Amino acid sequence: MKKTLLFVLLGLPLLSTAQRKIIDMHAHSYTDSDFGEREPAADFYGRKGSKNAEEHRSASFAAFKKWNVVKAMVSGNPESVENWAAKDTNLVIRGILMFNPDDYGMTPDKLEQMIKDKKLEVFGEIGNYYMGTILSDPIWQPYLAICEKFDIPVAVHTGGGDPGGTYSWSPKARLALGDPYLMEDVLVKYPKLRIYLMHAGGEEWHEHTLRLMAYYPQLYTDIAVMLWVEPNSQRTIREFLQHAKEAGYLNRVMFGSDQMIWPYAIEKSIRYLDNLKFLSKKDKEDIFYNNAARFLKLKND
């Protein structure tokens, strides 16, 4: 009784981690060479990120263990993803962070071979927004066709990016390019493609995400970064989740952290979602695990 009262007073989740499994559909890995211009020194709250790749990996895995994250879709450069997979093959779902279709010397043939070698299980995060392209551009089509052929999920960035990024490492980024409506032609062209939006359209386009989900029942979304990065994003994601619940689309909404270089964001995201009063226990269980398990076609364990 005293323990339960303490949890209520502190606003902590009552459901123990042993009772609930979580799938993080949006985690990032790094090598030391990734630390620099792309990620700012501190987040919105002034909290500094990890100093190096090993510190970041260790802290992320510690958070996964604490909160019973049993699967995590990890994107980064291929070397960093393999470093994470070597630590826990069962936990890591191999993704790849792509800004341009030829990153890391990628070609359609190379992508197909990576899939066959089980070195890639999700094509994404695709950050085309940052480089000034949209997913329906011709340069992306050979890769999407391969993903549909081999039933490989695609994860694409939507919404905006880091403040000031256009003035530094991503000069071609424009807010308008983050509109999910710009990828509608992809949904039409590849009706069997398993695809999910990252960030649910962000602060700018979350209503467009709901309209796309209404028109295209194969479309899923994650709510990563929106749960923790700054107050306006949290306000937006509350509205999105409320509207998704009212519209009946919560069964295609998936948890993600997008912890970037701040592993503490994994726990912060989980706590924030867990404390949304308008979501039922079942709603939370679906978002934390069941929806992603269905999307990923995981076998019952």
Question: Per-residue pLDDT tens for 31-48?
Answer: 998 887 677 778 999 999
Name the β-bridge partners of 75.
28
- pLDDT at residue 93, rounded to an integer: 98
Cis amide leading into 207 (omega within 30): no
Handedness of CA 150, 259, 300, 278 (dihedral sign): negative
| Any domain includes 171 | yes
DSSP-assigned letter for residue 74: E
Q: Is residue 76 part of a domain?
A: yes
Confidence of residue 299 (pLDDT cuts 50, 70, 90): confident
Residues with Cβ within 8 Å of 139's Cβ and at least 6 positions away in sequence, in order, are 100, 101, 133
pLDDT of residue 18: 52
Structure tokens at 281: 């226990």
Between residues 16 and 269, the one the model is more confident about: 269
Q: Has residue 2 got a pLDDT over 90?
A: no
pLDDT of 3 above 70 = no
Residue 239, both tokens: 């509205």
What percentage of the chain exceeds 70 in pLDDT?
93
For position 246, what pLDDT does the model report? 97
Residue 283 has pLDDT above 80, yes or no: yes
pLDDT the model gives residue 1: 42
The mean pLDDT of 200-226, rounded to a whole number, is 96
pLDDT in tens, 111-155: 999 999 999 999 999 999 999 999 999 999 999 999 999 999 999
Contact at 8 Å (CB) between 81 and 70?
Answer: no
Q: Is residue 271 part of a domain?
A: yes
Q: 176: domain CATH number?
A: 3.20.20.140
What is the C-alpha separation between 171 and 167, in angstroms, rounded? 6
Structural domains in the chain (count): 1
Say what the pLDDT of residue 36 is: 72
Q: Taking all residues of the chain, what is their mean pLDDT, rounded to a whole number?
A: 93
Q: For residue 237, which of 263, 211, 198 has the smallest C-alpha distance?
A: 198
pLDDT in tens, 164-205: 889 988 899 899 999 999 999 999 999 999 999 999 999 999
The per-residue DSSP string of 171-216 comes to TT--GGGG-GGGGHHHHHH-TT--EEEEGGGHHHHHHHHHHHHHH-
Is residue 10 in a domain? no
Give the separation between CA 218 and CA 196, rounded to whole angstroms: 9
Residue 278, beta-bridge partner list: none
Residue 297 has pLDDT above 80, yes or no: yes
Tens digit of each residue's pLDDT (9 = 90 or more) over 53-74: 999 999 999 999 999 999 999 9
Range of the domain at 274: 18-296
**247 is a domain residue:** yes
Q: What is the mean pLDDT of residues 78-86?
A: 97
Helix, strand, or coil (residue 94): strand
Q: Does residue 151 fall inside a structural domain? A: yes
pLDDT of 80: 97
Give me the half-sphere count of Cα atoms (radius 13 Å) on the Cβ side of residue 232. Answer: 6
Q: Is residue 4 part of a domain?
A: no
Residue 207's pLDDT is what?
96
DSSP sequence for 2-17 = HHHHHHHHHT--SS-G
2 assigned to some structural domain:
no
pLDDT of residue 39: 73
- DSSP symbol at 64: H
